[in-house]
Amino acid sequence: MRPTIALLLLLAAPLARADDTAAISTAVQGDIARHVHDLGSRNGWVSLDALDYLSYFGRAAVPALVDGLASPSSNARVLACVALARIPDARSIPALVSALDDKAGLELNVLSDDGETLHPVYDPPEHSVKQQAQIALQTITGKRYPKKEDWEAWWAKEGTGFLVPAPRVREWPKLPSQARWLKGVKICLDPGHGGDRGKQGFKRGLTYLSEADLNLRVARYLRDLLVKAGATIVMTREGDQDVDLKERCRIAGRNEVDFFLSVHHNWSPVFDRVETTTWYHLTPDHQPASLDLARAVQEEVAKVTVEDSEESARAAGLRSDGLMYEKAGFGVLRDLPPEIPGALCEVTYYSSFSMERKLRDLEFNRTEAWALFLGLVRYMAAGIPRAELVSSKDDLVLQVKDGLEEHGEWSKPWKVFSEHTLVKLDGKVVSHDYDPTTGKIRVAGSQVASGEHQLEVVLVNLNGNHSWPKRIRFSR
């Protein structure tokens, strides 16, 4: 005897988040409503994918799911019951009790072998709303009553004082110790695309997986990890919004983030392409810190997408966006403020059918996010060198920091490459003296006129990380 879909769906359920009772934005509310609407699709790839992902929102999704029990779509009603079983919440109990009269069944279609004919997967009313509501009530309450009136009597008597068990929390693996260097760092995450669900077939794979949805899903998981590590995260979009490329860059600038990472998935006419590609803007000299960021992300993410070592070596994957747009590069990198390093990661290819089926699996999405997270850990753990202005009275004196002494490393003499130290005054390279024994940079005062000025110091530490292109502002 085959297991019922109810059992399979409950066993496959991802666990609810612990922080899901907090206030949520209008964009996230809209995204929840969109996924609840998708429960009504007769395309099982779409409806069951929405079902699995709704648990990510935890109890914040309960009001929309309760509304889903009143949907004209029997699919939405059946699957809303299944989703509510995964998110224990007393608010859903009265609606689930009312649904015990609903005998409508799940209606999913598949294509015939020739791709011409649709036919149902199940014989209606197999897997009815009534059946799934009963299972949801038993799962949430731990009680078993055979009839609707029994549930109503129990709820009338004990509902006020009934305590729903706390939702199970899906834990990430233990964070690596080096993740502590992300604490206090401000990062802008950019889930690529969005606002294109109305375009039939637009940026979708063979199972109709939307790249925009996938990008947002992985970026959310990555955000959760970074917040857990103590970073501050700015998202360029929280739902299925079409955010202009320039506006994405302005969001990063307004929030004065330390760096920017755009999360994408790729497409190719070659069906077996799966490798990772991470892009930096134009040339390595344009902004070396962006190349450092891209390299760290690329080397970690490629480990989960490219299994064949020969392919991994051939693919390399670290590329200039000038290869795509020779003089301009990608808009989302081109228009970033000059003080913000940025990179764009195409994690893998949704155009590969075998990979797309992986990409529908929430566990693989979490694996993608974990790899991106490890890339950012790797980047920050290598240290970010910087220079601090000590004096501007006569000569300009700056103190070098190699980004490693904060990590508790024995860093004197300072671990930066003396010959690669560069000082720019108001955008122009000026001569300077660097003393590696004291870590001091000196710029002769004769090179500095009266007025307002900007300094930029380019440093490279022994791990190959460049300083962030921050401007030091001062007046004389």
CATH 3.40.630.40 fits 177-381, yes or no: yes
Closest CA to 213 of 366, 34, 351: 34
> What pLDDT score was predicted for residue 169?
75
> What pLDDT score was predicted for residue 312?
52
Tell me, what amino acid is at 83?
A: A
Q: Using CA atoms, how far apart are residues 443 and 238, in angstroms rounded to an integer? A: 46
Structure tokens of 185?
């760092």
Spatial contact of 141 and 79, defined as CB atoms under 8 Å apart = no
> What pLDDT score was predicted for residue 418?
93
Res 437 pLDDT > 50: yes
pLDDT (mean) for 178-201: 91
pLDDT (mean) for 201-219: 89
pLDDT (mean) for 417-442: 95
Q: Using CA atoms, how far apart are residues 308 and 12, in angstroms rounded to an integer? A: 29
pLDDT (mean) for 181-188: 98
Lowest mean pLDDT among 248-252, 346-350, 407-411: 407-411
Res 337 pLDDT > 90: yes
Spatial contact of 371 and 303, defined as CB atoms under 8 Å apart = yes
Q: Rounded to two decimals, what is the model's pTM? A: 0.91
Res 277 pLDDT > 60: yes
pLDDT (mean) for 294-308: 89
Alpha-carbon 28 to chain mean position:
14
Q: Using CA atoms, how far apart are residues 142 and 140, in angstroms rounded to an integer? A: 6
| Residue whose token pair is 């689930």 | 96
Res 109 pLDDT > 80: yes
Lowest mean pLDDT among 159-173, 194-208, 271-285, 289-303: 194-208
* 244-260 core/surface letters (b: 16 or more CB in 10 A; e: else): ebeebbbbbbeeebbbb
> What pLDDT score was predicted for residue 410?
77
Locate the domains of the chain by residue range.
5-161, 177-381, 386-475
Could you please state the CATH topology (level 3) that the domain comprising 5-161 is classified under: 1.25.40
Res 461 pLDDT > 70: yes
What residues pair up with 263 in beta bridges, in sequence order? 191, 345
Share of the chain above pLDDT 90, in %: 78
> What pLDDT score was predicted for residue 31?
95
* 362-391 per-position pLDDT tens digit: 999 999 999 999 999 999 999 999 999 999
Lowest mean pLDDT among 161-175, 234-248, 254-268: 161-175
* 79-101 per-position pLDDT tens digit: 999 999 999 999 999 999 999 99
Res 357 pLDDT > 60: yes
> What pLDDT score was predicted for residue 308?
61
* 234-257 per-position pLDDT tens digit: 999 999 999 999 999 999 999 999
> What pLDDT score was predicted for residue 5?
39
| Residue whose token pair is 């990555």 | 222
Report the chain's C-alpha Rg in angstroms: 27
Tell me, what amino acid is at 300?
A: E
> What pLDDT score was predicted for residue 307?
67
Alpha-carbon 460 to chain mean position:
29
Q: In terms of CATH architecture, what is 386-475?
A: Sandwich (2.60)
Over the chain, what is the mean pLDDT?
90
Confidence grade of residue 259 (pLDDT, cut at 50, 70, 90): very high
Confidence grade of residue 200 (pLDDT, cut at 50, 70, 90): confident
> What pLDDT score was predicted for residue 56?
94
Res 17 pLDDT > 70: no
Spatial contact of 319 and 277, defined as CB atoms under 8 Å apart = yes
